Homo-oligomer: A and B are copies of this chain.
Amino acid sequence: MRKEAMERRNEILDAADELFGQKGFDGTSTNDILEKVGIARGTLYYHFKSKEDIMDALIERYNTQILGSAKEIASNKNIPVHERIVRVVMALNISGGNGKEIIDHIHKPQNALMHQKIQKVIINGLPPILTEIIREGIEQGLFSTPYPYECMEMIVAYTNTVFDDDMVDLTDEERAARIPAFIFNVERLLGVESGSLMYMMKMFGNGGED
């Protein structure tokens, strides 16, 4: 019955993760979590100070998972710049083997608050990582912009809102139509010739969040 604090904590987080995914944050009661983990009320509140505290811990976990592998790839200067951008972005969807599921279930309409918090992590965490790569690209004469950070911020804000979110309800065709337009716009922002970033299409390959 008795476990190390960290172990219990993670059990609780695992249960919450799954339940929030199924029923949303508001739709999940602490009792649901209690039952799933097989502990008593007091135990839950021994490890977490509130229900929202559980969510925050969960987000902290996501944060690490999602941005961690992205950072790692971004810092590998052996990979050519273009390739590295693609890999960083694609890492977001599958990082830790379950990034995609994370992103999937965050998009449940019930999870407004969690969703917002994750978005915040991404919009603040991803642009710095990408900007570093872009700067390298600028040095190499691949890109040209006086505002690499703000460029990345704009791009991330857009993909977060339009591609990742259910903010804009896109049919498959609408979605497909957005992609070349998006790439065209990115090309302009980065000051490169039209068509030269078409290789980025592959980032939107299957299902293609981000």
Contacts and interface: CB of A to CB of B under 8 A. Distances in A.
B115 A167 contact: no
Contact of A188 (B153, B158, B168, B189): B189
A6 B123 CA distance: 42
A120 to B, nearest CB: 5
Nearest to A180: B147
B124 A181 contact: no
A13 interface: no
A34 interface: no
Contacts of A76: none
B157 A123 contact: no
A196 to B, nearest CB: 15
Interface string A186-198: 0011010000000
Interface in A159-190: 160-162, 167-168, 178, 181-182, 184-185, 188-189
Q: Is the interface of A mostly helix, strand, loop or mixed?
A: helix
A120 B160 CA distance: 13
A28 interface: no
Contacts of A168: 120, 123-124, 153
A113 B166 CA distance: 13
A15 interface: no
Contact of A120 (B146, B167, B191): B167
Contact of A123 (B150, B167, B178): B167
11 contacts: A112-B115, A116-B167, A123-B162, A146-B181, A147-B181, A149-B181, A151-B185, A153-B162, A154-B182, A160-B161, A188-B189
Sorted nearest first, the 3 A-B pairs with minimum C-beta distance are A150-B181, A157-B161, A147-B181
Interface of A: 112-113, 115-116, 119-120, 123-124, 146-147, 149-151, 153-154, 157-158, 160-162, 167-168, 178, 181-182, 184-185, 188-189, 191
